[in-house]
């Protein structure tokens, strides 16, 4: 008998010790946020494992499923991690804690 496929919701986990509890693909440190951002920027599901080769396509679809079911939560993570356009090409100086 073939192995039963895992339910999509088992592919995504939240653990306070991994990425501060942000939802990730089980067994990885890849956040749902990263996958959602790639998709939101127009990357096809089949392309994502080409850029993140440790992921299988089923994990990408699990992340999509989680994102669509928890869109407000993941969009809040996206907004919190957004780098302002004005910082493009600049560097952060940890000594002064300033963007230069």
- On the question of pLDDT at 10 being above 90, the answer is no
Return the domain boundaries, the chain. Answer: 8-84
Q: Are 26 and 12 in contact (CB under 8 A)?
A: yes
* pLDDT band of 3, cuts 50, 70, 90: low
Query: Strand 24-25 to strand 98-99: parallel, antiparallel, or no bridges (unpaired)?
Result: unpaired
Options 1.10.10.10, 1.20.1440.130, 1.10.10.60, 3.40.50.2000; CATH for 8-84 is 1.10.10.10
Residues contacting residue 34 through CB under 8 Å, at least 6 positions apart:
52
DSSP-assigned states of every residue in 26-65: TTS--BHHHHHHHHHTT--GGGHHHHSTTS-HHHHHHHHH
* Cα(35)–Cα(25) distance, integer angstroms: 10
Most confident of 4-13, 39-48, 83-92: 39-48
Q: Are 31 and 77 in contact (CB under 8 A)?
A: yes
Q: What is the pLDDT of residues 45-75, one digit of tens each?
A: 999 999 999 999 999 999 999 999 999 999 9
């Amino acid at each position: 008998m073939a192995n039963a496929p895992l339910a999509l919701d088992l592919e995504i986990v939240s653990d306070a010790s991994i990425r501060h509890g942000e939802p990730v693909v089980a067994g990885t440190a890849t956040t749902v946020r990263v996958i959602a951002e790639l998709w939101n920027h127009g990357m096809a599901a089949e392309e994502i494992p080409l850029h993140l080769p440790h992921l299988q396509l089923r994990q990408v679809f699990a992340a999509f499923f989680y994102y669509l079911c928890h869109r407000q939560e993941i969009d809040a993570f996206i907004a919190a991690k957004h780098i302002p356009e004005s910082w493009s090409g600049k560097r952060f100086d940890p000594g002064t804690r300033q963007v230069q």
